[in-house]
Chains A and B, each alone.
Chain A
Amino acid sequence: MIGILATIGRAFLEGLAALGRLVIFAGAALGHMVRPPFYPRLIGRQMIEIGYFSLPVVALTTLFSGMVLALQSYTGFARFSAESAIATVVVLSMTRELAPVLAGLMVAGRIGAAMAAEIGTMRVTEQIDALTVLSTDPYKYLVAPRLIAGATMLPLLVLIGDILGVFGGYLVAIYKLDFNAAAYLRRTADYLEFMDVVSGLVKAAVFGFLVALTGCYHGYNSKGGARGVGQATTNAVVSASILILVFNYIITELFFAR
């Protein structure tokens, strides 16, 4: 019994320590992010990597989520004749929750893993030491561009995801459930508030930052060759996913709980 408690306690402390190290890393990275030199070329490259190349994944995910949302709410709402609420349900769920969370998780799998693998490989092959020796700060050269690109590109992806999700719901409602197109669109617009979209975009910016942060952190601190890099990649995706879900709750609470 004591043994179990001790194990739980140790795991808890270990978790806190890891969180502390991540926060310190984030602090250092933010400090370097706002001081020159800046690397616009590298920021641009990361933006393309995150924004453009994640577009297909995010587009497909949000489109099908919008579609299935319409279908599911129809079967559910039909039980108490509230089918007309489908448009509202789709647009609110997409903008406030689904688009940012799904895009965040997809990008965590795609980009967070790639960042951890790339920076981790640079660590174990001494390329990060070489950067330092060549008078270049690895935080500024490797970490800052990724954080900036993550925090700016994910909102853009989510905005596109919002539109595609609503479009997916519209397709199902009109072509499968025989709704009136004009009425559906009117209902979509009527109950949507500016804050719904904004909260989703704020979430996206935070998630993008978190994905890049955990990717860089685990890559930067990886050790022990190919195995260590593999471990770093897994850790980056897992911790990014957990942080996204935790921060999703916190931000929702800040925006909507009164």
Chain B
Amino acid sequence: MSPPKIELSGVKKAFGEKIVLDGIDYALPEGESLVVIGGSGSGKSVLLKCILGIIRPDAGSIRIDGEETVGAGSEAREKVRGKIGMLFQGSALFDSLPVWQNVAFRLIQGQGMERRQAKEIALGKLAQVGLAPPVAELYPAELSGGMQKRVALARAIASDPEIIFFDEPTTGLDPIMADVINDLIVASVKKLGATTISITHDMASARKIATRIAMIYGGKFIWAGEAKDIDRSGNAHVDQFIHGRAEGPIQMAVRRP
């Protein structure tokens, strides 16, 4: 049996006094799409950044294709990063570069591809996310939020990565555009056969993208399972979250009138 594509064990991270991740264990097999749900500030983005090696975990192990990445040398880390595409929560497009160069960035800078050929591929990826060639010449600041998300999606899939992370791909979009993005994610994942981890607050989006779901609370995965079982989790935290209720075991730190 081949090792899981991504394997987390005992991943911990604290910022000063504040414990964000408190021992995350999970094994994600190849070709699966995990959606991580959880409240704002529960450490979802931090978890992705730990896997990417942008944030160094305090403890634990993260294996990708069976290879340890925590504490690995920069060369090994580079090799792992080459397999991963990421859609950042705030898009994080390079505002000094036109759209097509954003999409083609890894192809040109990372892989040293001819600019002509890279542009060709970038235009193809932009078409996949429903953006016409004239958009390719614009700068990110000239785009709407939804268009920026789509460019970021095109950039994440541009180098045909084996693993893709989507950090809140639909937050801040209208419901129709959100569904368009969901469809795009599902379609591009199917096309690439990629293993994905997505983060979302949006249950409609989670149901659409996920084959598996995990809920993070108090720095741990308090529930993890098949996406179809989310409504029968038998976990009060999960039930409260997916139905969006203020009353329940999860108490927001707000003062009630």
Contact = CB atoms under 8 A, between A and B. Distances in A.
Interface of A: 37, 39, 118, 121-122, 125-127, 129-136, 141
22 contacts: A37-B112, A121-B95, A125-B92, A126-B89, A126-B90, A126-B92, A127-B92, A127-B93, A127-B95, A129-B52, A129-B88, A130-B86, A130-B94, A131-B94, A132-B53, A132-B54, A132-B81, A133-B84, A134-B109, A135-B82, A135-B106, A136-B105
Chain B, interface size category, equals: 20 to 34
Interface of B: 49, 52-54, 78, 81-82, 84-86, 88-90, 92-96, 105-106, 109-112, 155
A133 B95 contact: no
Given A125-B95, A134-B105, A141-B109, 18 more contacts: A37-B109, A125-B90, A126-B88, A126-B92, A127-B95, A129-B88, A130-B92, A130-B94, A132-B81, A133-B52, A133-B84, A134-B109, A135-B78, A135-B109, A135-B110, A136-B105, A136-B106, A136-B110
Contacts of A118: 96
Contacts of A37: 109, 112
Contacts of A132: 52-54, 81
B16 to A, nearest CB: 13
A232 to B, nearest CB: 17
Contacts of B84: 133
Contacts of A126: 88-90, 92
A135 B112 CA distance: 11
B153 to A, nearest CB: 13
A134 B105 CA distance: 7
A127 B94 contact: yes
User: Which of A126, A130, A134, A141 has the most CB atoms of chain B within a 10 A radius of its CB?
Assistant: A134
B81 A135 contact: yes
Contacts of B105: 134, 136
Given A127-B94, A127-B95, A134 B88 contact: no
Contacts of B90: 125-126
Contacts of A135: 78, 81-82, 106, 109-111
B81 A129 contact: no
Contact of A129 (B49, B109, B111): B49
A32 to B, nearest CB: 11
A193 B82 CA distance: 56
A120 B203 CA distance: 34
B138 to A, nearest CB: 17
Contacts of B49: 129
Nearest to A121: B95
Contacts of B112: 37
A205 B39 CA distance: 52
Given A126-B88, A141-B109, A133 B81 contact: yes
A122 B94 CA distance: 8
Nearest to A135: B110
User: Which of A126, A130, A131, A141 has the most CB atoms of chain B within a 10 A radius of its CB?
Assistant: A130
A2 B254 CA distance: 43
Given A126-B90, A129-B54, A134 B106 contact: yes
Nearest to A133: B86
Contacts of A121: 95
A173 B92 CA distance: 57
A122 B97 CA distance: 12
A122 B49 CA distance: 17
5 closest cross-chain pairs (CB), A and B? A135-B110, A126-B92, A130-B92, A134-B106, A136-B109
A134 B95 contact: no
A207 B215 CA distance: 53
Nearest to A45: B96
A135 B53 CA distance: 12
A134 B104 CA distance: 10
Nearest to A129: B54
Contacts of A122: 94
A163 B26 CA distance: 68
Nearest to A118: B96
A135 B94 CA distance: 14
B57 to A, nearest CB: 16
Contacts of A136: 105-106, 109-110
A126 B167 CA distance: 12
Contacts of A39: 109
Contacts of B111: 135
A129 B53 CA distance: 10
B108 to A, nearest CB: 10
